[in-house]
Amino acid sequence: MSVAFQVIAQRSALASYQPGAGSPAAILRTDLLAPLERLATSMTAERNQEIFAEGEPAKYCYQVVSGCVRTVKLMEDGRRQVDEFLLPGDFFALEVLGEYNFSAEAVTPVRLRRYTCAALEEFADRDRDFARRLWRLTAGQLRAARERMVLLGRKTASERIASFLLDMAERVSTDGGERIDLPMSRGDMADHLGLTIETVCRGLTQLRRHGTIAIDRGQIAILDARALGSAGGRVLH
């Protein structure tokens, strides 16, 4: 199941990371993990395959190499909350306390690098700088979580959708961030934004009708970034 391989391209992409921008889970540069490289196990997962389940004892944490992963919390009656979408370079399940407090599933076929939590902690114990970066990474995720609380608690449906598109654009942007590849379904988006599939659809349609975005298969093009920005309902600072 696990075959070792190298991912050179990814490394350079992550090296250009600047604090405050882009994916919060990618604060650690890959080259920082270089000493850990030999501890990593490569693995893959098929679309919709569960990587780990909520409640399991947490042995491993992961980095996305390619594809997209979602972290999910479920309520007893089936209501679902998608916590994060993880993209290449992002880490997840890093901040575990004994057991996973969410499950992780592959949105698309994914390649992952897997580390044992024990090895990471041990390494952190020896390397202060590494430990500090690990903490900072968790802090960055907490900061993102706080931003999402404003979204879930106080933003309207259309604001949530606009914010989401801007967020994704910032994370996946290859060039100016005009073309976004959205690997997840409307249902995933809805469960991420605290909405229903229909409301997400209508919101996207409305943005398309206003000429703010263009929709084409799983791809979305941002035509009017300024309009999208003001539709997102800015938070102070």
Partner DNA sequence: CGATAGGTTGACTTCAATCAAACGACGTGG
Partner DNA sequence: CCACGTCGTTTGATTGAAGTCAACCTATCG
> Looking at the DSSP assignment, which residues form a beta bridge with residue 161?
none
Question: Token pair for residue 155?
Answer: 């933003």
CA distance 41 to 58: 16
Binding piece for a copy of itself, criterion CB under 8 A, among 32-40, 62-70, 93-101, 212-220? 93-101
Residue of 218, 175, 205, 199 lying closest to 68 (CA atoms): 218
Q: Which range, of 2-10, 54-62, 117-125, 211-219, touches DNA by CB under 7 A?
A: 211-219
According to the binding rule CB under 8 A, does residue 59 interact with a copy of itself?
Answer: no
163: its two tokens: 């914010």
Judged by CB under 7 A, does residue 158 bind DNA?
yes
Q: Smaller CB distance to DNA: residue 59 or 186?
A: 186
User: Is residue 204 within the footprint of DNA (CB under 7 A)?
Assistant: yes
Separation between Cα atoms, residue 161 and residue 189, nearest integer Å:
9
123, 124, 186, 229: which one contacts DNA (CB under 7 A)? 186
Listing DSSP states for 150-218 in one string gives HHHHH--HHHHHHHHHHHHHHHH-SSSS-EEE--S-HHHHHHHHTS-HHHHHHHHHHHHHTTSEEEETT
Query: In b/e form, how buried is each residue of 168-189, taking b as 16+ CB within 10 angstroms?
Result: bbebbeeeeeebbebbbebebb
Q: Which is nearer to DNA, 119 or 201 (CB)?
A: 201
Q: Which residues pair with 28 in a beta bridge?
A: none
For DNA, the closer of residues 122 and 198 by Cβ is 198
Contact characters 117-146, a copy of itself, x per CB under 8 A: ----x--xx--x--xx-xxx-xxxxxx-xx
Residue of 77, 175, 176, 216 that binds a copy of itself (CB under 8 A):
77
- Segment 174-193, which members bind a copy of itself (CB under 8 A)? 191, 193
CA distance 51 to 62: 10
Least gap, CB of 165 to DNA (angstroms): 13
Residue 165 in contact with DNA, rule: CB under 7 A: no
By CB under 7 A, is residue 107 in contact with DNA? no
Q: For residues 153 and 176, which CB has a smaller minimum distance to a copy of itself in the complex? A: 153
How many residues at the interface with DNA, by CB under 7 A?
Answer: 19
Alpha carbon 72 to its chain centroid, in Å, reads: 12
Q: Which residues contact DNA by CB under 7 A?
A: 156-158, 185-187, 194-199, 201-202, 204-205, 215, 217-218
